[in-house]
């Protein structure tokens, strides 16, 4: 290891340890939850916690391994990254939104009239005026 730049090696080792810890933490939480017959945490809280851990993990990977934000002046990589993030958010949340809307057509509503009624009620549309 002597020949390698010490600071860079240290960055990788720190990133590695952090990512392992975060992974084990997330895994530990979920197995605790499953072992306690899904009573250890409330479902919503745990989902939020997992999302937080995954985001932290993502940042660790981006900063320690991919060295994002470490370039000089015109931060083109960072800008491209932000644009990608925007696209990803639109695609993922847009899909969920649209598909949730489409969900009106399925499930409990057997006939077209029922679907219409449900949509009118849900969206607060009133045809009387």
Partner 1 sequence: MTDCVLFATLFATFAVLHNNTAGGPPGKELFSLPFVLAETLILLTSSFTCGLALLAIRTRNKQLTYTLLGVTFALGLAFLGLELYEFNKLAHEGNDWQRSAFLSSFFTLVGTHGLHITAGLVWLAALLAQLKTRGFTRPVIRRFGLFALFWHFLDVIWILIFTIVYLKGAL
C-alpha to C-alpha distance for 45 and 52, rounded to whole angstroms: 10
Give residues with Cβ within 8 angstroms of 65, minimum separation 6.
Answer: 12, 15
79 is a contact residue toward partner 1 (CB under 8 A):
no
Pick the binder of partner 1 from 48, 78, 96, 120 (CB under 8 A): 96
**Site residues (CB under 8 A) for partner 1, limited to 99-118:** 99
What distances in angstroms separate CA 101 from CA 51, 59, 62, 113, 114, one per listed residue? Answer: 24, 33, 34, 17, 15
Are 65 and 17 within 8 A, CB to CB?
no
CB of 118 to partner 1, least distance (A): 19
Binding site for partner 1 (CB under 8 A): 1, 3-5, 8-9, 12, 15-16, 19-20, 23-24, 26-27, 30-31, 33-34, 38, 43, 46-47, 50-51, 53-54, 57-58, 61-62, 65-66, 80-81, 83-84, 87-88, 91-92, 94-96, 99
């Amino acid at each position: 290891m002597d020949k390698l730049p010490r600071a860079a090696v240290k960055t990788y080792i720190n990133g590695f340890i952090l990512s392992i810890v975060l992974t084990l933490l997330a895994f530990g939480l979920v197995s605790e939850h499953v072992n306690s017959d899904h009573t250890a945490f409330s479902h919503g809280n745990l989902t939020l916690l997992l999302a937080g851990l995954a985001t932290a993990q993502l940042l660790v990977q981006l900063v320690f391994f991919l060295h994002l934000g470490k370039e000089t002046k015109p931060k083109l990589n960072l800008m491209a990254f932000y644009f990608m993030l925007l696209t990803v958010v639109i695609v993922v949340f847009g899909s969920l939104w649209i598909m949730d809307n489409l969900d009106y057509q399925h499930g409990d509503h057997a006939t077209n009239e029922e679907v219409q009624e449900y949509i009118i009620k849900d969206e607060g549309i009133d045809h009387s005026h």
